[in-house]
């Protein structure tokens, strides 16, 4: 089948080099990248050839690559983003499209996004799920770029999720839902409609609670301001990947977001990912993730 896997991960080679040198607070121990207390197995995450084998096995045109969420490190600023982006440039090929790293919470983020877009290398951006307050200057640039913008959950701080692998099984869908809600209630889809947000893992809990969000608007719950569109319209502006491991949930995704907004995503090479992709959902992403090559203001 032809098409693109919109959700795959690699560790950029520049990050690996820094880790082996003990730079940027990184290290390598027993085949694991140690970063901010987290341990990532190198193996396939450090092997672009293995991802190319996945692409061939699935009969895809290619895969869209973002860094594992542990590498977002928004407290590390512009220098860290530059290191990551240089490694992503080195990974980019006709079969591997890369999503740029932004120093999202740094005032330089809009300028970084505008500069990366001019290169013709990056196919958009991958964002974690920190507090999105105050990011209108970033959203403005991404809107002007009509940028494909993957939202990938980061680590949840809820200590109750430490047991039973719930930090991933429940924390990841929750974090994505928080990010989606933050965008919807800040009216980001209405004010910056050019951004093509794509929520990982089927949008997390978003489809299940979108009706509840709309009810909150209708009943004037505290803190909710007037939106430029109904919640369901804002939600339907999002793309999602199809990584939910549940046929009934896939049907809900189609009803909630629309069939054309459900894309194939594997989360390769992580264990919670998919073993195979659905051909009908792999086709759509090719145009969405074409490399950016556009001049915009970074105001």
User: pLDDT by residue for the chain (299 residues), tens digit each?
Assistant: 589 999 999 999 999 999 999 999 999 999 999 999 899 999 999 999 999 999 999 999 999 999 999 999 999 999 999 999 999 999 999 999 999 999 999 999 999 999 999 999 999 999 999 999 999 999 999 999 999 999 999 888 899 999 999 999 999 999 999 999 999 999 999 999 999 999 999 999 999 999 999 999 999 999 999 999 999 999 999 999 999 999 999 999 999 999 999 999 999 999 999 999 977 787 778 889 999 988 887 66
CA–CA separation, 212 vs 115, rounded Å? 39
Structure tokens at 294: 């556009």
Q: How far apart are CA 82 and CA 18, in angstroms?
A: 13
Helix axes 109-118, 136-145, angle to 10 degrees: 10
Neighbour-count burial for 233-259, b at 16+ CB within 10 Å, e otherwise = ebbbbbbbbbbbeeeeebeebbebbee
The pLDDT of residue 234:
98
Q: Is 153 exposed, middle or buried (0-12, 13-18, 19+ CB in 10 A)?
A: buried
Residues 212, 224 contacting (CB under 8 angstroms):
no
Tally of CB atoms within 10 A around 27? 15
Q: What is the pLDDT of residue 294?
A: 80
- Residue 279: predicted pLDDT: 72
pTM of the model: 0.96
Q: Tell me, what's the pLDDT at 299?
A: 61
Q: So what's the pLDDT on residue 237?
A: 98
Residues in the chain, total? 299
Query: Which stretches does DSSP call E strand in 116-268?
Result: 122-127, 148-151, 196-199, 239-241, 262-263
Cα–Cα distances in angstroms (integers) from residue 97 to residues 16, 112, 120, in the given order: 19, 18, 11
């Amino acid at each position: 089948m032809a098409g693109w896997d919109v959700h795959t991960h690699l560790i950029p080679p520049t990050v690996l080099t820094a880790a082996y040198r003990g730079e940027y607070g990184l290290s390598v121990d027993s085949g694991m990248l140690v970063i901010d207390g987290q341990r990532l197995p190198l193996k396939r995450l450090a092997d672009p050839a293995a991802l190319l084998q996945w692409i061939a096995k699935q009969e895809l045109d290619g895969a869209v690559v973002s860094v594992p969420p542990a590498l977002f490190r928004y407290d590390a600023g512009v220098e860290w983003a530059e290191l990551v982006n240089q490694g992503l440039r080195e990974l980019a090929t006709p079969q591997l499209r890369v999503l740029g790293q932004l120093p999202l919470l740094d005032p330089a983020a809009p300028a970084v996004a505008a500069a990366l877009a001019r290169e013709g290398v990056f196919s958009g951006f991958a964002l974690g799920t920190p507090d999105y307050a105050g990011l209108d200057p970033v959203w403005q640039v991404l809107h002007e770029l009509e940028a494909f913008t993957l939202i990938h959950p980061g680590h949840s701080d809820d200590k109750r999720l430490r047991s039973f692998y719930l930090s991933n099984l429940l924390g990841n869908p929750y974090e994505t839902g928080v990010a989606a809600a933050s965008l919807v209630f800040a009216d980001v889809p209405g004010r910056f409609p050019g951004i093509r947000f794509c929520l990982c893992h089927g949008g997390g809990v978003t489809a299940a609670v979108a009706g509840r969000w709309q009810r909150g608007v209708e009943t004037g719950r505290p803190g909710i301001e007037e939106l430029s569109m109904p919640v369901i319209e804002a939600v339907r502006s999002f793309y999602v990947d199809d990584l939910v491991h549940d046929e009934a949930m896939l049907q809900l995704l189609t009803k909630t977001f629309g069939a054309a907004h459900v894309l194939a995503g594997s989360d390769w090479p992580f264990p919670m990912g998919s073993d195979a992709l659905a051909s009908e959902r792999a086709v759509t992403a090719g145009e969405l993730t074409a490399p950016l090559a556009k001049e915009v203001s970074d105001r």
